Amino acid sequence: MLAPPPAPLPRRKLPIGIQNLREIRQEGHYYVDKTGMAVTLIDSGKYYFLSRPRRFGKSLLVDTFKELFEGHRELFVGLAAEPRWDWSRKCPVIRFSFSGGVGPGGSQLEQRIRENLRINRVALGLALPPGLPEEDLAGNFADLIRQAHLSRGERVAVLVDEYDKPLLDHIAAPDTAQRMRDALRDLYGVLKDCDEHLRFVFLTGVSKFSKVGLFSGLNNLRDITLDARWSALCGYTDADIDSVFAPELPELDRDEIRRWYNGYNWRGTSVYNPFDVLLLFDTREFRPFWFETGTPTFLVRLLTERQTFTPQLGHLVASETLLSTFEVESMRPEALLFQTGYLTIDQEEPLPGRTQFTLKYPNLEVQASLNDHLLKAFTGDAAVSEPQVSRLWRVLLAGDVAALRDLFRAFFASIPNDWYRNSAIAQYEGYWASVFYSHFAALGLDIRVEDCTHKGRIDMVVLAAGAVWIFEFKVVELLPQGQALAQIQARGYADKYRDRGEPIHLIGVEFSRADRNIVGFEVETLNP
Chain segment 147-161, per-residue pLDDT in tens: 999 999 999 999 999
pLDDT value of residue 16: 96
189 vs 186: CA distance, rounded Å: 5
What does DSSP say about strands 354-360 and 317-319: parallel, antiparallel, or unpaired? antiparallel
Residue 381 burial by Cβ neighbours in a 10 Å radius (0-12, 13-18, 19+): middle
Q: Using CA atoms, how far apart are residues 185 and 212, in angstroms rounded to an integer?
A: 10
Q: Are 264 and 346 spatial neighbours (Cβ–Cβ below 8 Å)? A: no
Residue 182: partners with Cβ closer than 8 Å, 6 or more residues away = none
In the predicted structure, residue 18 carries a pLDDT above the cut 80? yes
Q: Which of 23, 34, 36, 39 is nearest to 56 (CA)?
A: 34
Strands 467-475 and 456-464: antiparallel
pLDDT digits (tens, 9 = 90+) for 216-274: 666 788 999 999 999 999 999 999 999 999 999 999 999 999 999 999 999 999 999 99
Residue 160 in contact with residue 204, Cβ under 8 Å?
yes
Measure Cα distances from 96 to 39, 126, 140, 526 in Å.
21, 16, 14, 63
3-class secondary structure, 490: helix
Residues in the chain: 528
Q: What are 382-431's pLDDT values in tens digits?
A: 666 678 888 999 999 999 999 999 999 888 888 777 666 666 656 666 78
445-477 pLDDT per residue, tens: 999 887 766 666 888 999 999 999 999 998 887
CA 352/CA 319 separation, integer angstroms = 12
pLDDT band at 6 (very low <50, low <70, confident <90, very high): low
Please report the beta strands in 39-144, taking only residues with DSSP state E, as ranges in sequence order.
47-51, 93-97
Residue type, 160: V
For residue 213, pLDDT beyond 60: no
Q: With contact defined as beta carbons under 8 Å apart, do 262 and 86 qualify?
A: no
**Dist CA 312 CA 457 (whole Å):** 13
Instruction: Note the pTM of the prediction, 2 decimals.
Output: 0.90
Q: Which of 516, 509, 514, 334 is nearest to 433 (CA)?
A: 509
Confidence of residue 12 (pLDDT cuts 50, 70, 90): very high
pLDDT at site 212 = 43
Give helix 385-398 / helix 401-413 axis angle, nearest 10°: 160
Mean pLDDT of the chain: 88
Rounded percentage of the chain residues whose pLDDT exceeds 70 = 88
CB 401 within 8 A of CB 507: yes
Mean pLDDT of 305-318: 82
With left for phi above 0 and alpha for psi between -120 and 50, is residue 62 left, alpha or beta? Answer: alpha
State the pairing for strand pair 446-453/467-475: unpaired
Q: What's the pLDDT score for residue 38?
A: 98
pLDDT 10s digits, 117-129: 999 999 999 999 9
Host H or E run for residue 291: helix 289-292
Query: Where is average pLDDT lowest: 29-43, 205-219, 270-284?
Result: 205-219
- pLDDT tens digits, one per residue of 343-384: 999 999 988 888 899 999 999 999 999 998 888 887 776 666
- CA geometry: angle at 446 spanning 289 and 55, to 5°? 20
Helix (H, G, I), strand (E, B) or coil at 297: helix
Question: With contact defined as beta carbons under 8 Å apart, do 328 and 275 qualify?
Answer: no
526 residue type, one letter = L
Distances 250 to 7, 9, 259, 281, 330 between C-alpha atoms, Å: 12, 10, 17, 10, 48
CA dihedral 117, 121, 122, 125 (to 10 degrees): 180
Query: What are phi and psi for residue 291, nearest 5 degrees?
Result: -65, -40
DSSP conformation letters of 339-390: HTTSSEEEEEEEETTEEEEEEE--SHHHHHHHHHHHHHHHHT-TTSHHHHHH
The domains of the chain, with CATH numbers, are 33-230 (3.40.50), 381-526 (3.40.1350)
- Please give the Cα distance from 474 to 32 (Å, whole number): 51
pLDDT in tens, 478-512: 666 778 899 999 999 999 999 999 999 999 999 88
Q: Please tell me the distance from the alpha carbon of residue 37 to that of residue 159, in angstroms, as a whole number.
A: 17
Cα–Cα distance measured from residue 42 to residue 520, given in angstroms and rounded to the nearest whole number: 62
Which 3 state secondary structure label does DSSP give 280? helix
Contacts of 164 (CB under 8 A, 6+ apart): 98, 205, 206, 207, 209, 214
Q: Which pLDDT score, from 0 to 100, does residue 326 have?
A: 63
Predicted confidence band of residue 163 (pLDDT cuts 50, 70, 90): confident
User: Binning pLDDT at 50, 70 and 90, where does residue 91 land?
Assistant: very high
Long-range contacts of 1-4 (CB under 8 A, 24+ apart): none
Dihedral sign of CA atoms 326, 332, 335, 338 in order: positive
Mean pLDDT of 275-292: 96
Choose between 197 and 437: higher pLDDT.
197
Dihedral angle over CA of 54, 261, 281, 390, nearest 10:
110
Instruction: Indicate whether 214 pLDDT > 70.
Output: no
CA dihedral 392, 397, 398, 401 (to 10 degrees): 50
